[in-house]
Amino acid sequence: MIKLTPKQRTMMAMDKKEVDRPPVFVTLTPQAAKKLSDHLKVPYEEPLDSMLSTRISHMDLLTKLGNDCVGIAGCAPKNSPTRVLKDNILINEWGMKFVDVGIYFEFHEYPLASATSVEDIENYPWPDPFAEGRFDAAQKAIDKYGDRYAIVADLETAFFETAWYMVGMEKLLMALALEEEYAFALLDKIMKINTKIGMKLIEMGADIIWAGDDFGTQRGMMVSPDMWREIFKPRIKWMFEQFRSVNPDIKIAWHSCGSILPIIGDFAEIGLDILNPIQPLAEGMTPEYLKENHGHELCFFGGIDIQHLMPHGTVEEIKAEVKRRIDILGEKGGYIIAPAHNIQDDTSVENILAFYDAVKNYKK
Amino acid sequence: MKIDYALLNQYVYEGKASKVKEMVQSAIDAGNPVAEILEEGLIAGMSVLGEDFKHNIRYVPEVLIAARAMKAGQLLLKPLLTSADIQAKKKGVIVIGTVKGDLHDIGKNLVTMMAEGAGFEVYDIGIDKSDNDFVEAALKYNADIVGMSALLTTTMPYMKTVVERFKEEKLDHIKIVIGGAPINSQYAEEIKADGFGPDAASSVNLFESLISAKAS
């Protein structure tokens, strides 16, 4: 067999062609990246300034370890980098304030927490999708890795999540249930900004666009399937159409944590190619069910548990689970194997290396 | 005046705050017992919603607006409750919070709303709380139950620290219940917590059974 490049391996797998082994796309929190960099004695790469930082940072390290994909995204522009205000409080270009708690930047203040009207949304100083410097890091990554690696343009937090980052989660969920107009104006405003960013990343040469918003919880949908179909499905369909207007062959992935069984078929219907992260411990999201019921219409990306297996499992358990997942989800292609979210500091170097080892040495 | 509690229940269930307020006010004006309006008018509606939430018939947004509607009704009743009413309705005292290092609170808030909706006295001490915070609040409010929440696998081990602290302080009479996305009953057993709540409505069932076990 001719040796495949990581890009060929990824794109063949996403065309449901059999490959030597499934492609890999691991992402890390900065603490996990630091630990691995020290272990491998390579320089630690500082995270990039983006809401999607963990998905696009540490790419030298990750390609060295065996990633087949490289993440890119829109970053904070030159005139509006994320700034430290005081006492570990940061503010980004959207006006969201975060507090640095060591492991993550958590929400501290929602800029539109008191919004009640469409005017409040219209009058807000929104980010310019084409602000200078937005795509510099993405271009650098494409120049460096684009020939050899699959370029995955990240657009998670596409509009629902970014909307609640602006007003607060409970406020947005209530506003949607009460059908308040400002909530829909907010969703549309953000959707248009992020769609433009996604379209630009596709134009620049992304192979896969990885959009997303979390609609699931550990035990089921966060919003009702009816509400999702009424509010979110048409908007996501519109986004997908815009992406395909730039490149009809773009592969589209969607990320939603949690258990989202009732809407997976809807996603396939509106043109989704790849479902991520198929969170293993979320209710009902088993590889057997997903492959059997949706394997004909979707590829899968993710599937390795980070809530228990990666942090607490043994090397043997990780190897066995990697094999089981590839056997089921990778049958006849259609699978990018990855942890179901960023690997965090609670996972040992030994377990991370065991994961890569198991994928690279996979045998049926 | 005969109050249609079934209709009031329905308004709570649907999250119609202004209708709830209106009906509660007319029930008060008509001289219905305050405890009865609370129990049969508000709590009963919320408990149906709780069950439906547990079975994925209703979802988080509907629970949030129902809790808001219920609160609107409760605010009218609160100043009128006599101490006898309060004693009669008090099912138990719960102190609840998200553990240190973790700032996620929607799960905890849902449990708080459901437990209040079921008639518990709940003190929500907030997010990022230390073992000291939990112990102090439990003593201050004379808690029957302490509820702890965590979303992150990296913060969940702190629950063990809090459980051990309660043991050290010899507060074994206070039951400790845990919940959150990465938590399961096996973990609850492992850290010697008294129970695990997989969702908000089940947590309320668990509180009820812990209180009745304690009473017997």
pLDDT tens for B145-195 read 999 999 988 899 999 999 999 999 999 999 999 999 999 999 999 999 999
Question: pLDDT at position A54, please?
Answer: 96
Examine the domain organization and report whether B198 and B152 are in the same domain: yes
Task: Name the token pair of A205.
Answer: 């040469």
**How far apart are alpha carbons A219 and B197 in whole angstroms?**
12
Chain A positions in Cβ-Cβ contact with residue B68 (cut-off 8 Å)? 174
Q: Do A223 and B61 touch (CB under 8 A)?
A: yes
Q: Do A227 and B103 touch (CB under 8 A)?
A: no
Q: Do B68 and A218 touch (CB under 8 A)?
A: no
**How far apart are alpha carbons A302 and A289 in whole angstroms?**
15
DSSP letter (8 states) at residue A133? T
Examine the domain organization and report whether B138 and B201 are in the same domain: yes
Chain B positions in Cβ-Cβ contact with residue A97 (cut-off 8 Å)? none
In terms of DSSP H, where are the helices of A70-180?
118-122, 136-145, 160-167, 169-177
Are B39 and B66 contacting, i.e. CB atoms less than 8 angstroms apart?
no
With a CB-CB cutoff of 8 Å, which residues 61-100 of chain B face chain A? 61-62, 64-65, 68
Task: Assess B160–A contact: CB distance below 8 Å, yes or no.
Answer: no
Mutation target for A interface from B65, B129, B153: give the one with most A CBs within 10 A: B153
Query: One-letter amino acid identity for A205?
Result: G
Q: Do B106 and A344 touch (CB under 8 A)?
A: no
Q: Do A169 and B106 touch (CB under 8 A)?
A: yes
Chain B positions in Cβ-Cβ contact with residue A311 (cut-off 8 Å)? 153
Examine the domain organization and report whether B183 and B111 are in the same domain: yes
Are A151 and A208 contacting, i.e. CB atoms less than 8 angstroms apart?
yes
Whether residue B90 is predicted with pLDDT greater than 80 in this model: the reply is no
Question: pLDDT at position B88, please?
Answer: 65
Chain A residue set in contact with B, beta carbons under 8 Å: 99, 101-104, 106-107, 169-170, 173-174, 176-178, 217-224, 227, 281, 306-308, 311, 344-346
**How far apart are alpha carbons A355 and A338 in whole angstroms?**
9
Domain that holds residue B35: 5-87
Examine the domain organization and report whether B28 and B101 are in the same domain: no
Chain B positions in Cβ-Cβ contact with residue A346 (cut-off 8 Å)? 153-154
Q: Do A101 and B103 touch (CB under 8 A)?
A: yes
Q: Do B59 and A222 touch (CB under 8 A)?
A: yes
Describe the strand order of the beta sheet including B145-149 as a list of residue ranges: B121-129, B93-99, B145-149, B175-179, B195-196
Sequence-separated (6 or more) residues with CB below 8 Å from residue B75: none
Examine the domain organization and report whether B202 and B99 are in the same domain: yes
Say what the alpha-carbon torsion angle A174, A179, A183, A188 is, to the nearest 10 degrees.
Answer: 140
Nearest residue of chain A to residue B157 (CA atoms): A346
Phi, psi dihedrals of residue B126, rounded to the nearest 5° = 95, -155
Range A6-78+113-360: architecture per CATH: Alpha-Beta Barrel (3.20)
CATH number of residue B166's parent domain? 3.40.50.280
Task: Assess B124–A contact: CB distance below 8 Å, yes or no.
Answer: no
Examine the domain organization and report whether B144 and B128 are in the same domain: yes
**How far apart are alpha carbons A57 and A50 in whole angstroms?**
10
CATH number of residue B61's parent domain? 1.10.1240.10
Whether residue B216 is predicted with pLDDT greater than 90 in this model: the reply is no
A291, A199, A216: which is closest to A252 by C-alpha?
A: A199
Overall pTM > 0.90: yes
User: How many A×B Cβ pairs under 8 Å?
Assistant: 67
Residue that is written with structure tokens 């942890």 in the block: A339
- Say how many domains are in chain B: 2
Task: Name the token pair of B12.
Answer: 């709570």
Task: Assess B213–A contact: CB distance below 8 Å, yes or no.
Answer: no
Examine the domain organization and report whether B170 and B103 are in the same domain: yes
Q: Do B64 and A103 touch (CB under 8 A)?
A: no
Domain boundary among B68, B87, B106: B87
Examine the domain organization and report whether B172 and B203 are in the same domain: yes
**How far apart are alpha carbons A248 and A271 in whole angstroms?**
11
Whether residue B16 is predicted with pLDDT greater than 70 in this model: the reply is yes
SS (H, E, C) chain B: CCCCHHHHHHHHHHCCHHHHHHHHHHHHHCCCCHHHHHHHHHHHHHHHHHHHHHCCCCCHHHHHHHHHHHHHHHHHHHHHCCHHHHHHHCCCEEEEEEECCCCCCHHHHHHHHHHHHCCCEEEEEEEEECHHHHHHHHHHCCCCEEEEECCCCCCCCHHHHHHHHHHHCCCCCCEEEEECCCCCHHHHHHCCCCEECCCHHHHHHHHHHHHHHHHC
Examine the domain organization and report whether B190 and B109 are in the same domain: yes
Q: Do B68 and A174 touch (CB under 8 A)?
A: yes
Task: Assess B109–A contact: CB distance below 8 Å, yes or no.
Answer: yes
Q: Do B59 and A227 touch (CB under 8 A)?
A: yes
Q: Do B181 and A224 touch (CB under 8 A)?
A: no
Of B60, B101, B153, which has the smallest distance from its Cβ to A223's Cβ?
A: B60
| Tens of pLDDT, residue by residue, chain A (364 residues) | 578 999 999 999 999 998 999 999 999 999 999 999 999 999 999 999 999 999 999 999 999 999 999 999 999 999 999 999 988 899 999 999 999 887 788 899 999 999 999 999 999 999 999 999 999 999 999 999 999 999 999 999 999 999 999 999 999 999 999 999 999 999 999 999 999 999 999 999 999 999 999 999 999 999 999 999 999 999 999 999 999 999 999 999 999 999 999 999 999 999 999 999 999 999 999 999 999 999 999 999 999 999 999 999 999 999 999 999 999 999 999 999 999 999 999 999 999 999 999 999 998 8
Of A222, A223, A307, which has the smallest distance from its Cβ to B182's Cβ?
A: A307
Q: Do A102 and B60 touch (CB under 8 A)?
A: no
Chain B positions in Cβ-Cβ contact with residue A344 (cut-off 8 Å)? 152-154
Q: Do A227 and B61 touch (CB under 8 A)?
A: yes
| Parallel, antiparallel or unpaired: strands A251-255 and A274-276 | parallel
Chain A positions in Cβ-Cβ contact with residue B59 (cut-off 8 Å)? 220-224, 227
- The gap between the terminal CA atoms of chain A, to the nearest Å, is 16
Task: Name the token pair of B85.
Answer: 């009413």
Task: Assess B19–A contact: CB distance below 8 Å, yes or no.
Answer: no
Per-residue pLDDT of B41-82, as tens digits, reads: 999 999 899 899 989 999 999 999 999 999 999 999 988 887
| Parallel, antiparallel or unpaired: strands B175-179 and A105-109 | unpaired
Nearest residue of chain A to residue B16 (CA atoms): A178
Domain boundary among B22, B55, B87: B87
Residue B89 pLDDT class (50, 70, 90 cuts): low
Task: Assess B152–A contact: CB distance below 8 Å, yes or no.
Answer: yes
**How far apart are alpha carbons B169 and B138 in whole angstroms?**
11
A327, A332, A316, A253: which is closest to A287 by C-alpha?
A: A327
Per-residue pLDDT of B111-155, as tens digits, reads: 999 998 888 999 999 999 999 999 999 999 999 999 999 998 889
Q: Do B181 and A99 touch (CB under 8 A)?
A: no
Of A102, A169, A311, which has the smallest distance from its Cβ to B153's Cβ?
A: A311
Task: Name the token pair of A28.
Answer: 């890390």
Domain boundary among B87, B114, B134: B87
Angle of CA points A361, A302, A253, to nearest 5°: 125
Examine the domain organization and report whether B105 and B163 are in the same domain: yes
Peptide bond into A277 cis (omega under 30): yes
Chain B positions in Cβ-Cβ contact with residue A101 (cut-off 8 Å)? 101, 103, 128
**How far apart are alpha carbons B12 and B44 in whole angstroms?**
9
Of A173, A217, A306, which has the smallest distance from its Cβ to B61's Cβ?
A: A173
Chain A positions in Cβ-Cβ contact with residue B58 (cut-off 8 Å)? 224
DSSP letter (8 states) at residue A128? P
Are B102 and B109 contacting, i.e. CB atoms less than 8 angstroms apart?
no
Angle of CA points A198, A202, A207, to nearest 5°: 120
Q: Do B60 and A222 touch (CB under 8 A)?
A: yes
